[in-house]
Each structure stands twice: as C-alpha cells, then as structure tokens.
Amino acid sequence: MIEKTDFDVGIIGGGPAGSSMAAYLAKAGIDCVVFERELFPRRHVGESLVPSSTRVFKDLGFLPTMEEYKFPRKYGAVWTAAANAPVYGHDWEGLAPDCRADLDFEERAQPGVDQNYTYHVDRGLFDNLLLQHANSLGAEVYEGVSVKGADFSDPNAIRLKYGWGRRDAQSTVRMLMDASGRRTVMGNPMEWRIKDVVFDQYALHTWFEGYD
C-alpha cells in the first residue's frame, strides 16, 4: 500500500481543459501534473472562444497574455434555443431601418465578464501559452507522454502507466482527471462515457435536414 504519492492530482491531456484545471490547482497550492501525448506547440485548427471563457482567464491571470499576443477580438455572436426561443432577447431599440446597416455589438451580463469581446485564437499558439502558464504557476508538465492505463487497486493511490520515449514509466497520484477530449483515454476502457441520446438524435436530424 502506497503511503505517499508522487502528486496529488494527475491530469491526462494538456489542452485548454487540462491546462486550466492544472492552473487552478497550482494556484491553490495543490501538487499536480499534466500528462500530454504531443509536444507543444502542436498543429491545431483555430477557434472562436465564447465570452464566458473571460472569467476563467481572469481567474488564472491569463488575460494579459491574451492581449500581449494580440489575438483578434470577437465582438458579436447570437445563440438561440432548439425550440426557436431565444436564450436572451434584444428589443432592437435605436436600430431603426435606414439606408445604412446599423450593428450593435454587446454581450449579455455574466458574472466575472467585464469586457464586451472575446477572442479568435490560433489553437496551436493558444494551447501552448496556456500550458506554459499552468507550468509557471507550479504545475508539473510531462509532454510527449502517452498514457497507457491506470491501476486503481490501491485504496490510497492511483498508479498511472505511460510511455516516455522508448521506455515505460509510472507515477502515483491521489486523484486522476481525464481531459483527453474525445479520445477519453480513461473514459473508454473504464466505460465512463455516457451517450446523450437526445443530443445524438437532434444532431443527426439537423445534419440530414441540410440535405433535404
């Protein structure tokens, strides 16, 4: 039985979810490690962020980095519910019809969000910056590491097994987080994934509607 683990928390995946969790934990003084399969910066398609991410960046002290690297600012987006009912409305006051088009960019009130724009990011650069930020806060980062499995038999620790270069290695953690995205490194073998039947049916129906 293991008395003391190598880390308190192990995180599989160094993408935005894993990096953000590692940064939060490191800021709280919790000993954590990120296991990332690839070597950053990795090639990744760009992405438009949503305003709610601003609160996370503020919490982590990451907003100055976003501004420093001059990611394009994104001011407008509209979200609606599936039943054609708007999540939030606009009375269009002050936007009278005319010979010109008037646009009003604004954001609904959200706790912790005090700027009316978000960002469009190059994910290769953005992911690398966020992972480095977590590391600067005290999170350990292992890149080029392929997680092969975990042993949960010890009640005091989880033994994580991974490939590091040409050799196999292992580390022990008290808690394990799977932030590996759609690959779900632990979710699939442990059968933790639960399909959302309603979402799957709606997505399939919407996809086929485009070909009517």
> What is the tens place of the pLDDT at every residue in 128-186?
999 999 999 999 999 999 999 999 999 999 999 999 888 999 999 999 999 998 878 88
* Residue range 160-171, pLDDT digits in tens: 999 988 899 999
Q: Which of 132, 126, 167, 129 is nearest to 146 (CA)?
A: 167
Beta pairing, strands 32-36 & 7-12: parallel
* 8-state DSSP, 181: G
Cα(158)–Cα(10) distance, integer angstroms: 9
Instruction: Give the separation between CA 120 and CA 124, rounded to whole angstroms.
Output: 12
pLDDT above 70 (res 60): yes
Rounded Cα distance, 138 and 98, in Å: 56
Q: Tell me the average pLDDT of the chain.
A: 83
Q: Which residues contact 25 (CB under 8 A, 6 or more apart)?
A: 8, 9, 32, 139
**Per-residue model confidence (pLDDT) at position 212:** 47
Q: Which of 100-104, 106-110, 131-135, 161-165 has the lowest mean pLDDT?
A: 100-104
Concatenated DSSP letters of 54-94: HHHHHHHT-HHHHHHTTPPEE-----B-TTS-BSS----TT
Instruction: Collapse the DSSP code of 18 into the 3-class scheme (helix H, G, I; strand E, B; otherwise coil) and give the result.
Output: helix
27-61 b/e with 16+ CB inside 10 Å = b? eeebbbbbbbbbebbeebeeeebebebbebbeebe
Which pLDDT score is estimated for 17?
A: 94
Give the least confident one: 3-12, 64-73, 89-98, 129-138: 89-98
CA angle in degrees (0–180, nearest 5) for 168-181-30: 70
Q: Contact 180/13 with Cβ under 8 angstroms?
A: yes
